[in-house]
């Protein structure tokens, strides 16, 4: 008997399909096949059949469904389902389940990669991919953890496709890969690895202009949909194409599509070496079958990076207070710890640096040199509150100085750019104010966001103190400022999906303000109306953090500590997740997950199922800000409470 889950659920006996009964019976069999030869609890089956609202007869119904599945599978004689205490086990030979065969083939293919055998690897990957007949368990909607397991198999399929394309590129089959890459990029427009593969294939096919157009399209999609720039690796690949870097014709060039930087052009040959018969750089294409597979170079680059970032003993670095910390998004362990000034809070990420504001200083950590460059804010600006980086590399910092009665009465937006005494773009010039090319005074200044060629600044502190009900709108070209009036004071702001997202909440009667509704409000580009999404009556309930990414808007609320997932098109609440006070005060999206920080921890949340994967404790200090890219995760860790 043969079982198939890589597509619609099928059971075949002697070449003929086996009738599998009702939808619920097929769901039961599907869950058991996701765990072949493993014990599956009855409660797990109930969760995947009915989710959070099982009927009172769920236990009895599962027994009935199992009985009918047994009857259907019993056509061959022996009953393959074993009953254990409170659960069941489906006994399946590895060769009889397509998912098991696929996993063996993928593992074999990757072994061929490690041996430098791209031809054999490509054949094994293709054999594994041929087992798929569509999405895993197509037509069956599981309600609980089964969705994650189905998504994991579908993700493995896409990864295997990209691995096989790496083989094709290494073997000089770029022309054959281009058609498939065009389809895949349209299906997965935010996958930068596919974009890089497409760029490299176009370049090797002598279609340089189209390769650069592919980068421009990728950048536009990322900026419009997520509000982020392409990864550093993708930007390096674009620069390598612009300068016709010879390394793009080598294994290192193939590895660049997976995040490694192409090696610079080779040094001049040593004396005594005859170069008169060498082919021009583009002539290397005739020997592409000799290229090693991309994964080999990628593994070597990853190992080298890990060695650089770890300490001399090879152990992970220790987190210390008042530092920038890069965490491994898979394990939650620190990869890099970089001390900065006291009380670091906001983080801004660029392809070349990590920026943070700490105490009365602005710090920039250079990702290439490992140097932290700090400079004090202009004397009138006070303590930095938030920081964002625009597409031209300018840093915009909101800051405030305290008055005698009310905090933050004097506030500014400061633009930091390259000054005349600076030798590298974006590097601060400590001890000089020449980098601060513009300081714009505002009535208040709090959190900020960039979008639609505008800087959106909350004109009031983010917190429970009510002082203003507006968002300042700064035109990045003219620096003219207008004001967007709101019903309540703003507490969080973000821009994405051509929409400004603003969190507001009412508070107690202070300074003439009264308790009122707390909301998440959406203001779409070109539309003057404000659409109210989340709304609740009462003080201090409203959003304190908003993140954009993974096809949704993610919102953490203040007093209830709930995480909301909002559809940016329909503005509907897709799901809500309860967080503890230790899990939810700020949120970010990236590195394959949603990340929420609390008093002493960071929580990893699955963006597809909105379930908590793990909460990682921060051993020293307090995580005060979190930021993520498609592959990296960063924290600002304060020595005191945030």
Q: What is the pLDDT of residues 391-408, one digit of tens each?
A: 766 788 887 665 444 344
Cβ burial 38-55 (10 Å sphere, 16+ → b, else e):
eebebebbbbbbbeeebe
Domain with CATH 1.10.10.10 in the chain: 2-94
Range with lowest mean pLDDT among 109-123, 290-304, 332-346:
290-304
pLDDT band at 289 (very low <50, low <70, confident <90, very high): very low
* H or E segment and range at residue 70: helix 58-73
Q: Which CATH architecture has domain 486-578?
A: Beta Barrel (2.40)
Question: What pLDDT is attached to residue 75?
Answer: 66
pLDDT value, residue 559: 66
Q: Of all helices (H) and strands (E), which one includes residue 27? A: helix 23-34
CB distance 294 to 197 below 8 Å: no
pLDDT at 216 over 60: yes
| Three-class secondary structure of residue 269 per DSSP | coil
Whether residue 67 has pLDDT greater than 50: yes
**How many CB atoms are closer than 10 A to CB 149?**
18
The CATH class of the 174-263+289-309 domain is: mainly alpha
- Identify the pLDDT of residue 300: 31
Q: Could you give the residue range(s) of every CATH 2.120.10.30 domain in the chain?
A: 346-485
Give the pLDDT score at 421.
37
Report the C-alpha gap between 398 and 445 in whole angstroms: 6
The per-type count for the chain, helices as H runs and strands as E runs, is 12, 34
Cβ(419)–Cβ(434) below 8 Å:
yes
Tell me if residue 374 falls in helix, strand or coil. strand
Q: Locate CATH 2.40.10.480 in the chain.
A: 486-578
Rounded to whole angstroms, the Cα distance separating 29 from 18 reads: 13
State whether CATH 2.120.10.30 applies to domain 346-485: yes
Give CA–CA dist 199/213, Å, rounded: 9
With a cut of 90, say whether residue 194 has pLDDT above it: yes
Whether 568 shows a pLDDT value over 80: the answer reads yes
Q: Would you tell me the crossing angle of helices 98-114 and 145-170 to the nearest 10 degrees? A: 40
- Please write the tens of the pLDDT for every residue from 474-498: 888 787 888 888 777 788 899 988 8
How close are the terminal C-alpha atoms of the chain, in Å?
60
**Mean pLDDT in residue range 596-625:** 86
Q: Looking at the structure, give the CATH architecture of the domain made up of residues 2-94.
A: Orthogonal Bundle (1.10)
Location of structure tokens 């400061």: 414
pLDDT-wise least confident of 280-294, 372-386, 622-636: 280-294
> CA of 251: how far to CAs of 10, 195, 263, 302, 398, in Å?
42, 18, 10, 15, 45
pLDDT over 60 (residue 267): no
Would you state the pLDDT for residue 5?
A: 93
Secondary structure (3-state) at 16? strand
Average pLDDT of the residues of the chain: 76
Q: What is the pTM of this model?
A: 0.51
């Amino acid at each position: 008997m043969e079982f198939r889950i890589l597509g619609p659920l099928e059971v075949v006996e002697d070449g003929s399909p086996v009738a599998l009964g009702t939808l619920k019976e097929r769901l039961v069999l599907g869950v058991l096949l996701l765990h072949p030869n493993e014990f599956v609890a009855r409660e797990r089956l109930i969760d995947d059949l009915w989710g959070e609202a099982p009927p009172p007869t769920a236990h009895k119904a599962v027994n009935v469904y199992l009985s009918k599945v047994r009857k259907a599978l019993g056509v061959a004689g022996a009953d393959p389902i074993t009953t254990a205490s409170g659960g069941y086990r489906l006994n399946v030979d590895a060769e009889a389940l397509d998912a098991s065969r696929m996993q063996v083939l993928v593992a074999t293919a990757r072994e061929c990669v490690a041996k430098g055998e791209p031809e054999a690897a490509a054949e094994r990957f293709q054999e594994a991919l041929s087992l798929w007949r569509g999405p895993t368990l197509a037509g069956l909607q599981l309600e609980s953890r089964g969705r994650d397991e189905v998504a994991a198999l579908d993700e493995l399929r896409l990864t295997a496709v990209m691995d096989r394309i790496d083989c094709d590129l290494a073997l000089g089959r770029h022309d054959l890969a281009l058609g498939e890459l065009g389809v895949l990029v349209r299906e997965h427009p935010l996958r930068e690895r596919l974009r890089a593969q497409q760029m490299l294939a176009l370049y090797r096919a002598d279609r340089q202009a189209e390769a650069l157009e592919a980068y421009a399209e990728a950048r536009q999609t990322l900026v419009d949909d997520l509000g982020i720039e392409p990864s550093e690796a993708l930007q390096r690949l674009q620069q390598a194409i612009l300068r016709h870097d010879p390394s793009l014709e080598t294994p290192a060039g193939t590895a660049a599509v997976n995040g490694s930087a192409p090696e610079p052009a080779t040094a001049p040959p040593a004396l005594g070496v005859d170069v008169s018969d060498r082919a021009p750089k583009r002539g290397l294409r005739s020997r592409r079958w000799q290229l090693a597979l991309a994964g080999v170079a990628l593994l070597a680059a990853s190992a080298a990076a890990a060695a650089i970032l770890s300490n001399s003993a090879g152990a992970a670095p220790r987190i210390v207070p008042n530092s920038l910390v890069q965490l491994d998004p898979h394990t939650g362990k620190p990869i890099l710890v970089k001390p900065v000034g006291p009380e670091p809070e906001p983080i801004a990420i660029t392809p070349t640096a990590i920026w943070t504001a700490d105490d009365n200083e602005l710090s920039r950590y250079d990702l290439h040199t490992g140097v932290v460059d700090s400079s004090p804010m202009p004397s009138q600006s006070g303590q930095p509150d938030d920081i964002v980086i625009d597409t031209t590399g300018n840093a915009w910092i909101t800051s405030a100085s305290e008055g005698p009665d009310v905090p933050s009465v004097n506030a500014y937006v400061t633009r930091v750019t390259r000054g005349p005494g600076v030798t590298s773009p974006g590097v601060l010039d400590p001890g000089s104010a020449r980098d601060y090319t513009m300081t714009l005074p505002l009535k208040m200044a709090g959190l900020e966001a960039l979008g639609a060629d505008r800087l959106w600044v909350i004109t009031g502190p983010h917190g429970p103190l009510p002082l203003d009900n507006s968002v300042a709108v700064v035109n990045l070209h003219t620096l003219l400022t207008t004001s967007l009036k709101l019903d309540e004071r703003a507490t969080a702001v973000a821009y994405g999906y051509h929409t400004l997202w603003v969190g507001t909440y009412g508070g107690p009667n202070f300074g003439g303000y009264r308790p009122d509704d707390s909301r998440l409000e959406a203001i779409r580009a070109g539309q003057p109306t404000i659409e109210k999404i989340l709304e609740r009556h009462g003080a201090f309930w409203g959003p304190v953090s908003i993140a954009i990414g993974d096809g949704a808007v993610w919102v953490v609320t203040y007093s209830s500590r709930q995480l909301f997932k909002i559809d940016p098109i329909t503005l509907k609440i897709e799901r809500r997740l309860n967080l503890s006070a230790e899990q939810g005060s700020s949120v970010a999206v990236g590195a394959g997950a949603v990340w929420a920080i609390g008093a002493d921890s960071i929580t990893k949340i699955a963006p597809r199922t909105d379930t908590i994967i793990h909460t990682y404790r921060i051993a020293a200090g307090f995580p005060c800000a979190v930021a993520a890219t498609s592959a990296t995760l960063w924290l600002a860790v304060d020595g005191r409470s945030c």
